[in-house]
Chain A
Amino acid sequence: MPAILTIRDLRKSYSGGFEALKGVTLDIEEGEILALLGPNGAGKTTLISTICGIITPSSGSVTVGGHDIINDFRAARSLIGLVPQEINLEPFETVWNTVRFSRGLFGKSRNDALIEDILRKLSLWDKRKNRIMELSGGMKRRVLIAKALSHEPRVLFLDEPTAGVDVELRKDMWNIVAELKATGVTIILTTHYIEEAEAIADRVGVINAGALLLVEEKENLMTRMGKKQLEVQLSAPVAALPEELAHHDLQLANGGGALIYTYDTRGERTGITALLNDVAQAGLVLADVQTRQSSLEDIFVDLVSGDAA
């Protein structure tokens, strides 16, 4: 797959001298969903805004569909749709006019059927004649999404699209993202919600203090970095860990009714066989066994705190 977006050593220093991007290099493949995870102030919005033309980069280069975002900004920006983090909308205008305006602004000819379709998918059709100021926060967020989709972008940026929105919208959002992906749209989203990255992303990038710490296939990331837990449920609780198990990294849980064994999937051997042997040696009877994979959240917290140290 060719890269639809290439970012090369992108730097941004704000006028006060603060360096918000410290040389970001990244290729994004056509049709993938990339989630950018990072704490507040990491530079996610700065990165997106620079690619979209809202902020001037200090150095480095970006191409979209092979078009440089500065020298060939028209071609580059024509491919991009942006759903900004802040809800910025003209309060006195109607939903319909606002969305139609966006399509025209991007030079696309009028297509009412398409806009109707987008508004219906976002449950905005009934509100099309309402003025923006009459809508709830969640509805306004939907309008922002409709505006970005109205000009049929090939690359869609969603800057914290589900921050502070209801569960319903989050689900709708994920459905829309899945649908767009099916039509080949490339999606870059930033999020605080790690479950979101986990649920919909193909790749995950972790950004902190203006630097991209890593970009990985989500699956790889989780298996490579992930710790797993094995929970052994006993048919009869024990008061303390038996002697035979002392050398294993074990915790008692469930009032002595379960043993929890934490191991690293990156390790040469997991030690599970030895553990289970020793459990049998100690005369304990197993009722059930289950494993749990650690979430992206654990990985993320590990990475960011490791970086700060």
Chain B
Amino acid sequence: MNWTAVASIYRFEMARFFRTLMQSFMSPVLSTSLYFVVFGAAIGSRIDQVEGIDYGAFIVPGLIMLSVMTQAISNASFGIYFPKFIGTIYELLSAPVNFLEIVLGYVGAAATKALFIGVVILATASLFVDLTIAHPIAMVLFMLLTCLSFALLGFIIGIWAGNFEQLQLVPLMIVTPLVFLGGSFYSISMLPPIWQKITLFNPVVYLISGFRWAFFDTADVPVGLSLMAIGGFTVACMAVIWWIFKTGWRIRS
């Protein structure tokens, strides 16, 4: 392994993040606060409790997941699309690095940024509601795996995208709806029976359910299933990336 290269890519990518640190920090703080004002205060005053948990607290895991997923995807997809767009990818392709090292550098940096934002949201949320985390280690593990797997997905999107519109398209048209419909702000059990079945085809349900279990010890689907879902998703993304570099799809003519 060329660890020096991995570290160099990682550092270079993180530099972009630190250049806009204030913006990176302020926007999740602001949007989280808005969510609490809208969902927590307005809706929460009517819903009060879900599965014995204060509604304000109940939405915290979903809120974190929503941001972490979209941030991981957008950071990773932009991170690899940009060198393609401005042509600096020539250097990656001609360097003595293999696909794993490139992925570790780019995806690692994107996952770190997403993790940072997840932590900021968690901290902001704890200013609004009382939070006790039932399974802290599982919480961290779910968060890390989500950052990683969605950054991998973002990396694939960045390589696939041929222009900036496509870069925005997948997160906007696929990921955001899946997350909103994945039980971020409600429990699956609140849905009509038929929708409870349909919603099980949404992979994000398993992630949010597992993450919420780590917080409150209650889940829509078994935790083991959640772990398997996210593990399987990570492996699938890795396999696709391995294939991309093996065939040079969209990066090497």
Q: Tell whether A pairs with B.
A: yes
Instruction: Please list the residues of chain A having a beta carbon within 8 angstroms of any beta carbon in chain B.
Output: 14-15, 49, 52-56, 73-78, 80, 82, 84, 86, 88-93, 97, 100-109, 147
Whether B5 sits at the interface, judged by CB under 8 Å, is: yes
Q: Which chain A residue has the least Cβ–Cβ distance from B253?
A: A55
Assuming A56-B252, A92-B19, A93-B15, is B94 touching A104 (CB within 8 A)? no
User: Is there an interface contact between B93 and A53, defined as CB atoms closer than 8 Å?
Assistant: yes
Chain A residues positioned under 8 Å from B83 (CB to CB): 90
Whether B52 sits at the interface, judged by CB under 8 Å, is: no
Whether B224 sits at the interface, judged by CB under 8 Å, is: no
Chain A residues positioned under 8 Å from B9 (CB to CB): 101, 105
Count chain B residues whose beta carbon lies closer than 8 angstroms to a beta carbon of A: 28
User: Is there an interface contact between A97 and B91, defined as CB atoms closer than 8 Å?
Assistant: no
User: Is there an interface contact between B96 and A93, defined as CB atoms closer than 8 Å?
Assistant: no
Chain A residues positioned under 8 Å from B248 (CB to CB): 56
Assuming A88-B87, A104-B5, is B96 touching A55 (CB within 8 A)? no
Q: Which chain A residue has the least Cβ–Cβ distance from B251?
A: A54
What is the 8 Å Cβ interface bit string for chain B, positions 36-69, against chain A (1 contact, 0 not)?
Answer: 0000000000000000000000000000000000
Whether B163 sits at the interface, judged by CB under 8 Å, is: no
Q: Report the minimum CB–CB distance from A157 to chain B (whole Å).
A: 9
Alpha-carbon gap, A86 to B91, bound state (A) = 12
Chain B residues positioned under 8 Å from A84 (CB to CB): 87, 90
Whether B21 sits at the interface, judged by CB under 8 Å, is: no
B96 contacts which of A49, A92, A101, A107 (Cβ < 8 Å)? A107
Chain A residues positioned under 8 Å from B11 (CB to CB): 101, 104
Chain A residues positioned under 8 Å from B15 (CB to CB): 93, 97
List, sorted by A's number, 12 A–B pairs whose CB atoms are closer than 8 Å.
A49-B90, A52-B90, A53-B94, A54-B94, A82-B91, A84-B90, A90-B83, A90-B88, A92-B19, A97-B15, A105-B91, A109-B4
Q: Which chain B residue has the least Cβ–Cβ distance from A89?
A: B88
User: Is there an interface contact between B95 and A15, defined as CB atoms closer than 8 Å?
Assistant: no
Chain A residues positioned under 8 Å from B7 (CB to CB): 104
Chain A residues positioned under 8 Å from B92 (CB to CB): 105
Chain B residues positioned under 8 Å from A88 (CB to CB): 86-88, 90-91
A55 contacts which of B2, B12, B82, B252 (Cβ < 8 Å)? B252
Alpha-carbon gap, A86 to B2, bound state (A) = 27
Alpha-carbon gap, A103 to B7, bound state (A) = 11
A90 contacts which of B86, B96, B98 (Cβ < 8 Å)? B86
Q: Report the minimum CB–CB distance from A177 to chain B (whole Å).
A: 20
Chain A residues positioned under 8 Å from B166 (CB to CB): none
Q: Give residues 1-20 of B contacting A (CB, 8 Å).
A: 2, 4-5, 7-9, 11-12, 15-16, 19
Assuming A15-B253, A77-B94, A78-B96, is B12 touching A108 (CB within 8 A)? no
